[in-house]
Chains A and B, each alone.
Chain A
Amino acid sequence: MNEKTGRLMLEVRGLNKRFGQVHAVNNLNFEVRRGEVFGFLGPNGAGKSTTMRIITCFIPPTSGSVLVDGMDTAEQDLAVRRRIGYLPESTPLYSDMTVREYLAFVGQVRSLRGEKLKARMDEMFSVCALTAMADRQIGKLSKGYRQRVGLAQAMIHDPDLLILDEPMSGLDPNQIIEIRNLIKKFGEEKTVIYCSHILSEVSATCDRILIIKDGRIVATGTPDDLTSGHKGGSRYTLRIKGDKEPIKSTFSSMGGVSGIDIESAQEGWFNARINTEIKDDIGELIFNRVVQNGWALSELRRDQTSLEEVFTELTGGRQ
């Protein structure tokens, strides 16, 4: 992942899209480099799909520009479309064709012929684990298999830029892991833009994340940047044995502690949660206090702010 040296694959400059009164995309600016898996995150209706439709040349922007590998979508749209593989949100497929017929058709539309087409189709069958389903009608496949056909369709021409809009919807946990590995492998050399509102998915898969709300960027960075950089504080969870009141007063008086919460568990043990408002790790100090007071300790854990919390805060908790 040479993020700094990677070639610019996608540049979005001052992008706006209005549908009548609705300002779906509001002055978006971002760029994605080669070799990145880029997470595009936001609540439903934030403008994710609209942005993807503009990048894939399905609809033009109201203003602003999109450059894919240096080419403007407004001027060289066919060349741009050749470089992109796209899986739209609802995985639209021709349900009366078989998987094989469908992939052959997509390959031909993408100017693959003869041996080359056959080789690519075989590779897609094995990569997307579709071999057993090759001669089934698409309309009769399960959601998971349809999703894989959609992915195969998007990757058959070995695109430089792969755009996936909610690729995990309807998949079971095993399939999610498979597809996640597929995306990661693809993202080692190529570029993937991954749209989702499922945060754990994005943080597990993506190198860099952009969060939008109401068509505007609210945060951007690596998953770690977003979770640690956003809020200063962290939370410590303790399992401690001793007297309740001294425990409470001791920790409350520590520097940086903003609150403490104690619940009694069984046999004299307490579960304590200490919230801090500073960036520094005070775990060692907490431990020292426990030792000085002669309490027993069976658990001490620092919970960093999760991406969920960041997301909920940034997007106004509409989820």
Chain B
Amino acid sequence: MAIVIETQDLTRVYKSYQKPEGFTNSLKGFFKRQYQHKVALDKTTLQIESGQIVGLVGANGAGKTTLLKMLSGLVTPSGGDARVLGYRPWERKNEFLRQISILLGQKNQLWWDISPADSYSLLARVYDLDPQAARKRVEHLAEMLQCTHVLHTQLRRLSLGERMKMEIIGALLHEPQVLFLDEPTIGLDIVAQETIREFLDQYVKEKAPTIILTSHYMDDIAKLADKLLLISKGHIVYQGTVPEFVAKSNSELAENEEVDFEEVIRRFLETESRVR
């Protein structure tokens, strides 16, 4: 299988202003600022094959979203290199952007003041899609997600779950080859989570895109991912398949102990975090 995503020593350092609390320190900071440099991702090297669904798992601040942002071209690395579909993402070439999509679960990507149907017409223009074909595709995806009834309601008036379904349709409208999903089920109730999971599962079987998925819900990862990437404090600490990881972890546990996938991951990351 062809390599679609590869990184070599990919690094990102963030610089942030540090201010001790209090009025006097605010005044001092007005004239002289102190900055802290934090390594969000450290010399990460990885390869992802075409059609794979990769679950990217780690604690808050581990570097998952930073990695996604760099691979989708949102953030420029401080060091190292990366290629997605043969392009350097942060150069943001239109040919590259037409083939990818990023869904940020905590951020709206559609237009707040208009209906999703209007947003999709606009996206069809942005991606240079045939308007008729785009409309059909929207109908098809909306049926799969059971949300046809809200297509003409202003986005701001929809519930979180409905909005997320609309965002998913928007992200898939142009049939991206590479899809970055950052916590697509965050904040949703169990039913909505399950609907989205099933939808993604079905979509992947139909279109076989390459997906990098981050989620704090291990059910998302266990159900969808072929490959697991565990990340801790900016380092990839495990790369392999989900069954391999579970088998490896179980062999290291006490004989009479039985733990589920989520527990295995939690323990692994805790150990890694202590080591680093």
Tell me, yes or no, whether A binds B. no
